[in-house]
Structure 1
Amino acid sequence: MACWLRPAMCGCFCEAPDRPPAAAHKREALLRIVQSGRCCEPDGPAVGGRRRGDWRRFHRHFDSAVLLERHQLTAGTTWHSAGMHWRLRPTDADIELNAYSRMMCKQLEEETEISSWTENGGLFVATNKERLAEYQRFAETGKYFGIESQVLSPAEVKEVHPLLRVDDVYGGIYSPGDGTIDPTGITNAYAKAARKLGAGIYENVEVSGIEVEEYFTPGGAQSKRIQAVTTACGARIATKVVVNAGGCWANAVAAMAGVEIPLRAMKHAMVLTEPLPGMHKGLPNVRDHDLSVYLKTQGDSMAIGGYEQNPEFWDADPKFAFGLFELDYDTFGQNLAGHIQRCPQIETTGIKTTVCGPESFTPDHKPLMGPHPGLRGLYHACGFNSMGMMLGGGAGREITKWIMTGSPEVDLFSFDCSRFHPDTTANARWVKDRTHESYAKTYAIVFPHDEALAGRGMRKSAFHDELVARGCVHQARHGFERPGWFDASMKPGSQVPKPYDYYGAYEEGAWRLCEKDQEEGIPKHEEHLYNDLIEKDLTFSWPASHHIVAEEVRATREGVAFFDQSYFGKLFLRGPDADQAVQYLCGADMEGKKFGSVTYTPLCNVRGGVEADLTVTKLEDPEGSSYYYFAAGGNTYTKDLEWIRGVLEDRGFRAAITDESDSSALLTVQGPHSRPLLQSLVTSGHSLENDAFPFSTGQWLEIAGHRLLALRLTFVGERGYELHVPTASAMQVYKAVREAGEHYGAKHGVPVCDAGYKAIDSLSAEKNLRHWHADLSNRDTPLEAGIGFTVLSKLKRSGPDAPDFLGRAALEAQRAAGLKRKLVCLILESGDVPLHGAETMLRDGECIGYVRSTAFGHTIGRSIAYGYVDCPKSETKITNAWLEAGKWQIGDKGSLHAANLSLKAPFDPANERVKG
């Protein structure tokens, strides 16, 4: 039984003595459910009654689903939502979920006779070239998803919406299929449809607690799981699944279960004007992102709002239900100035009413969805950052699939709770600062190379300070400072991000941060070199760091480069069933692997989609037993860790996975001269030659007298070595390697340098290597992604000895039927065109895909794009012959660029440099 918990489910945290208890019939109804055993099913309840879509599918599989609402449906934030729906979005996940929500509005209106959708169109206004370029990118991506839109001139903007001022407008984009969702209507429609199917929706029921059980897994790991939900009216609902849909009160729901989530509530306002001459319900909703405002059509009036730089935080009050705050005109005033600039009539029009209510926001302006790391059975569907109306239907569908199958069907890593490292979510200052920044930049242009200024320096490698002294410009990923690129021309240390200053938004007073002893203003930095460096890269043309990255790539290809990849996850699998567990987890065949073998492998879900791709090294403990070292991508390893833990427990393996990421650093030495350089530093007598240390193997050895695990691997397409060094000796090893590198480079006349992840992006694109969550995800199978070689060994084994592994049945079926979609690599013919992702991919003039990842290949001098293309109706499956027979182009901002198909790696396709 699934229990959905709704806003203000603060239960025992917020009892109001003056509030009457829940009605007797509510208590009796809940007690009858418990006594009947209906709430003791293995599926689960939900705390919260927001508009979280697809009740019908949910109820078909969870016929004992119960929704508990502290007040009434739509209480909290839903009832005053603006409800604007925009189909053109920066990411495919947003587009797909929004489309489903829109469809549900229309479908539920037919089924329930409750109206919730008005299709009045949407208009984006641009006041500069870069903003219009962003809108053109939206329109380009929309072509693949079938979203009608038109890029407009200023005059055409005026034609679409005559009330707008356009003398300062650069252009715009109009999407006639956009519209407005009525929040009360859609909530009631979902509720009516759910009740028809027998779902239990209980209003005025206060949740008083969530029971959590501590236990040991078959592998001996200590864990926690949901047991029950208790209510103030005396009911105990036994359940294994709780969905936290608590909105601004989601933190309190999480606290009942003993966990924390990165979510903060703020006061968010809009104003409804008196009728404006010429205004009517057929005019589109308007967003002017450059002014950070919106103008929503409301009959013959406008509802106007936006995102100010100095929002007021709010500590959620459990008694708050349908109330509003008094509007702070000092805060809203900056938005109002933008409204008047875009629609001058507003200045002389009266205000009918003001609406200032609470809304929940997160550190990256994305929802919190999916299972909570470390607590089995707790799922979140909250933190929608004023996008709940748009995302709600699709989010409900995907959270249902998540609960049913262990994974959503859409790539929702950017929504997944596990995208945050536990150290960040446990740090209140990090959460608040990052949440402020994401709120303040809600309408900022979504550039591909942007970096956060808030919450920096949380997690650092052992090499961090030394790399800063060498000019490293760091990027923040998963709370970790990883190298982006190196600029040796700067004064050492000047390029480090400074403490967050809120962009000067609270210079005159910081009381809006809602903190004790924080009344004085927070001054803005007079100089911030790091921010200056990042802003120079914020463009849809060539970034300022382009030439620097080119030199780092050249050093890697011609000499030696050193990469700090310490932010990788370092996970160890141990236990009596370690061999069986790793064979079931991995798509690659792990049977018979020798000690010291290193295997690149996907971890698949039941649909065959790739939940993770990583390397697994087989090691031997002092007793001669096997254990395994998983090196996982740094941005995703919290998710990977939870996925592995879940599979181990579900299958009952006597094995456990542990996170030992902080115990070691990872320095990779890459390039054609890496072998002789490192060989000069080996003090344990080991040879690094091919016959002694072949590719894809690992050895314990000593570098400069320090024992470490060396793996012969590369993610840049060169001969290279990963040095997994205990943290205590990491700096000594780095200094020894770096000093030897400088001498080696001078002696042999080859480039030697430190390099960052921008260089890795270029180098790996030239080698046709995957990046999880970019060109590889939970919805993409290894066969589709061009890494079928990782699973073929297992798939070719048949009969009683065929090894079982997660996803096998789905992959067997796909292999037999042929591919309906496939990842392809396109290389632009021109070397003068930058790409940034989300462009369209055309074969013989037909749009059949969009770019999932891209980088400029500095070695080959061309932009490289990877994306999945669909099989046309005229073909039964995608074949290489069909791919090669087509004429390929990439669509970018309305222009078409000739491209060449590459079925092999654009650089060194035979892997001679890697294995030499």
Structure 2
Amino acid sequence: MIFAQTKNILSRNKFGLRSSRALFSTALPTSADAVVIGGGSLGASTAYHLQKSGLSTILLERDDLTSGTTWHSAGMLWRLRPSDIDIELHTYTRDMCLRLEEETGETSFSENGGLFIANNKERFDEYRRLHETGKFFGIESSILTDPEDIKAVHPLMNTDDVYGALYSPTDGTIDPTSIVNAYAKAAKKLGASIHTKTAVVSISTVPSLFSQGASQVTSVTTESGHTIQTPVVINACGAWAGRVSEMVNAPIPLLAMRHAMVVTEKIEGMNPTLPNVRDHDLSIYFKTQGDAMAIGGYENNPEFWDSPSPTFSFGLFDLDWDTFNQNLEGHLQRCPSVEKVGIKSTVCGPESFTPDHKPLVGPQPGVHGFYQCCGFNSMGMMLGGGIGREMANWVNNGSASVDLFSFDVSRFHPDNVKDAKWVKDRTHESYAKTYAIVFPHDEALAGRGARRSGFFEELSKHGCVYQARHGMERPGWFDIEGGKDLTPLNYDYYGAYEEGGWRLGDGRADVPANGDHPYLDAIEGELTFGVGDSFDAVGRECKAAREGVAMFDQSYFGNFHLKGKGAGAFIEYLCGSEIKDKEVGSVTYTTLCNEDGGVEADLTVAKLGEDDFYFSAGGQTVTKDIWWVKRAMEKGQWEGVELVDVGDDVSILSVQGPHSRALLEGLIEEEGSLDGDKFEFSTCKKLKLKTGHSVLFLRLTFVGELGFELHVPTEDAGDIYRELWKLGEVYSEKHGVDIVNAGYRAIDSLSAEKNFRHWHADLSNRDTPMEAGIGFTVLPKLKKEGEDAVEFLGRAALQKKRKEGLKRKLVCLTVPRREDGSVVALHGMETIWRNGSCVGLVRSTAFGYTIDKTVAYGYVEADKLGWEKITNKRLGGEEGEAVWEIAGVGGERHASELNLKAPFDPKSERVFQA
């Protein structure tokens, strides 16, 4: 084969790097509002945006700008993504390239377009979803099904085996050197101080005075011994970010790998106007490089670089052809011209990757003033502009302006971050699946079993199909008919290291592939944009919750106390709802808002004592929520408040359904303890069980039924579950009702029918409570004015927005089955149409088994509706008939019904029953 050996190695000069030392000052300041460490695309963008926001900013780079990973980046920008936030950030990056060209004269963006190749229907459906989503954002794209149309866009393509394609003409290529120099020049003009050849050797911190166990950044010291006083440090060091993070004793889940591309000799017909190409099914990409082609991809057996050398600034590795040949076979299949030419250069450099293929950005839990901006998984060029903007927002305002939780470093549980094997296994899987179809119900195979509830062993015996969230095994649904153990097996790297285990590093041996894997079989039945194999099983669980009893393991939720003499006053400042003056035993659903009025968290607070408040937060967000609370304590300098995390000590069993009270009565020592007149909704009490255990009961529901949460000591969870299950078997036989175990897929369905919110789905830091339809969590406080006014986080912004009226609003739409009886499967990111105009985007969906309809929640916007502000009356058609539709795969319009109240039990009579 022509690629048997490397012809030459790419050097810096061949890549066109220009020295930029003359741009920057040599005298180091002694203080700054913020210090950015790292002079790549992310560091330069962040420095520019911080300085533009008014903060005096210093950028320190140990070598030259673009060193590390930026200089050898492929630089492709794709505007259509499966995430609305990614789309916004990528578009901003593109716009910044054009804006900086005007400001600095540096041309950094070429609009040569992008072409996505599909080799099967499932992939084509994914692309059609992207095409439809792009309509909301005004991104031009075309669906191509004729091979000749595809060849017209890129004549060098082999289209014999192509199913279809998506063409996005406003995609393009970013030149890494030009964009970094552009940011640096612009930042310098604004007053930023940029210093190359300046390595940071230490970051100083002091203990926090107001949030126990945390510290505060105070300064950085360079290799020359120079100290810069600063309260803010941003770690933008790419593959070397772990070393910098260690300076503040904050491990991060980031690993470096050897990532390669090859540049060919001249190919006849190749020119800079041809689009960049991604063939996800072959796991490859190729892009224009003048009259040549740069080709790369993602293999299953990448080589880890366990100890990044600090002097490897512009270094490259020898290419491992055994690894790269996996990609090369795909290139030859898709573009046969590649085989006819030689190699101009190989580029095998370091790149940083994370356990879920998302960046690590935002405030580092435990260290006030230290921010991560790293781990971009080969997407740093695309995200650079948008993330730089959001880093400035975070530093200045305490929160990003968009929902960046998918990128937030606090999305990982601390125990997982410290587990080297978990990090490596999950990072391998995310890398190997870079180009996999993003199915809505896919599950990871790596890193499983890291965190388990006290009910894990018992539920496994009942056919539990687990999901992994925040490192915790939580029930997804139950397969009661299969009769197999569905516990995930130890990770086998998809058989990629049956030979060559040394590529994993750490002295690893070869890893044999797993044989029969029932869990994997169960998950593969869910890999569809239609209805998965679990549909009937989930429906059975929902039916039991509505008619009998469903038992949910909600131990995935995080739990912590706020205690102390200052706890009550602090909670009034922290929470949107009134809590401090309620009676002991009350339970309150509340929002925690940021200064802009966006919802940073929604959770419940149980008042266990005058100075003891027990929080229960969504499991995926609990690390973030705890750090948000500690940051609020620090910012407000709140004294007399202690936060105690008890998440690992508590397991939660939620027993829901019209027969839940009667079933639980058989478990409780004192008869009548759960009667409605003794135990009202949104209250809690400790009760003695017949087993001898003392358990905290909360009368709450996340599914819209009579129900109770049992917060039990984790060590007692198994015993309590077994006793309750025995009682359930007897009760079921006696009364003829179903009593079942149920999972989170059922919770999603049942809660959607009840108009309940899910943070990071239909609720986020960019959505106010009023926009999200949960204004009741803040309105009582907002209505108090003058001497009665209660100050709380976000009050001023919420008051202002309340007076202005709603510019955007969450709506609930339901979609009936098709005429043939099939379910309309929606998964989020579909467009919402009203009277023929695109007015919004779907954020969350579920099938409602009780109402036999698909339920979708999404935000509609006043400007797209042509209104000054949104009201329910106008939404419902006050000015004439309102026709609502949701556009699914391929733009198929589905007639939808607007629901101004919950589709099921809108008055919550089942919840409040005595």
Shorter-chain TM-score category?
A: over 0.9
Tell me what 1:778 maps to. 765
d(CA) in 2 for partners of 1:583, 1:796: 15
Secondary structure of the residue aligned to 1:765 is helix
Asked whether the equivalents of residues 213 and 366 of structure 2 are also in contact (C-alpha less than 8 Å), the reply is no
Residues 715-864 of structure 1: pairs in structure 2 closer than 5 A:
715-830=702-817, 832-864=823-855
Residues 650-689 of structure 1: pairs in structure 2 closer than 5 A:
650-654=635-639, 655-685=641-671, 687-689=673-675
Asked whether the equivalents of residues 597 and 795 of structure 2 are also in contact (C-alpha less than 8 Å), the reply is yes
d(CA) in 1 for partners of 2:866, 2:135: 20
Asked whether the equivalents of residues 454 and 716 of structure 2 are also in contact (C-alpha less than 8 Å), the reply is no
**1:207 and 2:200 correspond:** yes
Tell me what 1:712 maps to. 699
Letter in 1 for 2:219: A
d(CA) in 1 for partners of 2:665, 2:763: 35
d(CA) in 2 for partners of 1:274, 1:367: 34
Tell me what 2:299 maps to. 308
**1:414 and 2:406 correspond:** yes
Letter in 2 for 1:575: G
Letter in 2 for 1:579: G
**1:649 and 2:634 correspond:** yes
Tell me what 2:5 maps to. none
Tell me what 1:615 maps to. 604
d(CA) in 2 for partners of 1:483, 1:448: 16
Tell me what 2:466 maps to. 474
d(CA) in 2 for partners of 1:868, 1:656: 38
Residues 532-681 of structure 1: pairs in structure 2 closer than 5 A:
532-620=521-609, 625-654=610-639, 655-681=641-667
**1:890 and 2:886 correspond:** yes
**1:907 and 2:893 correspond:** no
Secondary structure of the residue aligned to 1:433 is helix
Tell me what 1:287 maps to. 278
Tell me what 1:91 maps to. 83
User: What is the CA-CA distance between 1:686 and the residue it aligns to?
Assistant: 5.1
5+ residue gaps in structure 2?
1-20
d(CA) in 1 for partners of 2:46, 2:713: 49
More displaced 10-residue stretch of structure 1: 835-844 or 696-705: 696-705
Residues 117-132 of structure 1: pairs in structure 2 closer than 5 A:
117-132=109-124
Decide which of 668, 680, 689 is 1:703's aligned counterpart.
Answer: 689
Secondary structure of the residue aligned to 2:282 is coil
User: What is the CA-CA distance between 1:657 and the residue it aligns to?
Assistant: 1.6
User: What is the CA-CA distance between 1:62 and the residue it aligns to?
Assistant: 4.5
Q: 1:871 to 1:26 in 2, by over 3 A?
A: closer
**1:75 and 2:67 correspond:** yes
Residues 134-213 of structure 1: pairs in structure 2 closer than 5 A:
134-153=126-145, 154-213=147-206
1:318-367: CA deviations, max 9, x gaps?
11011111111100001000000000111111111111111000000000
* Equivalenced residues, count: 877
User: What is the CA-CA distance between 1:60 and the residue it aligns to?
Assistant: 3.5
Decide which of 686, 690, 693 is 2:679's aligned counterpart.
Answer: 693
User: What is the CA-CA distance between 1:685 and the residue it aligns to?
Assistant: 4.5
**1:465 and 2:457 correspond:** yes
d(CA) in 1 for partners of 2:702, 2:152: 52
TM-score by length of 1: 0.94
Tell me what 1:3 maps to. none
**1:58 and 2:24 correspond:** no
User: What is the CA-CA distance between 1:547 and the residue it aligns to?
Assistant: 0.6
d(CA) in 2 for partners of 1:354, 1:509: 22
Tell me what 2:39 maps to. 49
Tell me what 2:220 maps to. 229
d(CA) in 2 for partners of 1:26, 1:288: 41
Asked whether the equivalents of residues 706 and 911 of structure 2 are also in contact (C-alpha less than 8 Å), the reply is yes
User: What is the CA-CA distance between 1:56 and the residue it aligns to?
Assistant: 4.3
Asked whether the equivalents of residues 106 and 182 of structure 2 are also in contact (C-alpha less than 8 Å), the reply is yes
User: What is the CA-CA distance between 1:280 and the residue it aligns to?
Assistant: 1.3
User: What is the CA-CA distance between 1:690 and the residue it aligns to?
Assistant: 1.1
Identity of aligned residues (%): 58
**1:276 and 2:263 correspond:** no
1:464-485: CA deviations, max 9, x gaps?
0110011101100000000001
Asked whether the equivalents of residues 26 and 205 of structure 1 are also in contact (C-alpha less than 8 Å), the reply is no
d(CA) in 2 for partners of 1:130, 1:223: 47
User: What is the CA-CA distance between 1:49 and the residue it aligns to?
Assistant: 1.2
User: What is the CA-CA distance between 1:223 and the residue it aligns to?
Assistant: 2.1
**1:296 and 2:292 correspond:** no
User: What is the CA-CA distance between 1:489 and the residue it aligns to?
Assistant: 2.3
**1:243 and 2:239 correspond:** no
d(CA) in 2 for partners of 1:253, 1:626: 39
Tell me what 2:324 maps to. 332
1:499-531: CA deviations, max 9, x gaps?
111001111121111222x2x321111211111
Letter in 1 for 2:566: D
User: What is the CA-CA distance between 1:735 and the residue it aligns to?
Assistant: 1.3
Asked whether the equivalents of residues 79 and 87 of structure 2 are also in contact (C-alpha less than 8 Å), the reply is yes
d(CA) in 1 for partners of 2:580, 2:647: 26
d(CA) in 2 for partners of 1:649, 1:392: 30
Tell me what 1:6 maps to. none
User: What is the CA-CA distance between 1:692 and the residue it aligns to?
Assistant: 0.6
Asked whether the equivalents of residues 645 and 656 of structure 1 are also in contact (C-alpha less than 8 Å), the reply is no
Tell me what 2:6 maps to. none
Letter in 2 for 1:644: V
Tell me what 2:391 maps to. 399
5+ residue gaps in structure 1?
1-22
User: What is the CA-CA distance between 1:55 and the residue it aligns to?
Assistant: 4.4
d(CA) in 1 for partners of 2:346, 2:120: 31
In angstroms, what is the RMSD of aligned CA positions?
1.5
1:200-226: CA deviations, max 9, x gaps?
110001111111222432x6x232111
Q: 1:348 to 1:567 in 2, by over 3 A?
A: same
Secondary structure of the residue aligned to 2:159 is coil
Tell me what 1:10 maps to. none
Asked whether the equivalents of residues 212 and 228 of structure 1 are also in contact (C-alpha less than 8 Å), the reply is yes
TM-score by length of 2: 0.95
User: What is the CA-CA distance between 1:583 and the residue it aligns to?
Assistant: 0.8
**1:104 and 2:68 correspond:** no
Letter in 2 for 1:572: H
Residues 511-522 of structure 1: pairs in structure 2 closer than 5 A:
511-516=502-507, 518=508, 520-522=509-511
Tell me what 2:366 maps to. 374
Secondary structure of the residue aligned to 2:367 is coil
**1:531 and 2:520 correspond:** yes
d(CA) in 2 for partners of 1:524, 1:157: 38
d(CA) in 2 for partners of 1:243, 1:651: 23
Tell me what 2:18 maps to. none
Letter in 1 for 2:723: A
User: What is the CA-CA distance between 1:403 and the residue it aligns to?
Assistant: 0.6
Letter in 1 for 2:536: H
Secondary structure of the residue aligned to 2:93 is helix
**1:356 and 2:348 correspond:** yes
User: What is the CA-CA distance between 1:63 and the residue it aligns to?
Assistant: 3.9
More displaced 10-residue stretch of structure 1: 681-690 or 253-262: 681-690
More displaced 10-residue stretch of structure 1: 395-404 or 59-68: 59-68
Letter in 1 for 2:628: W
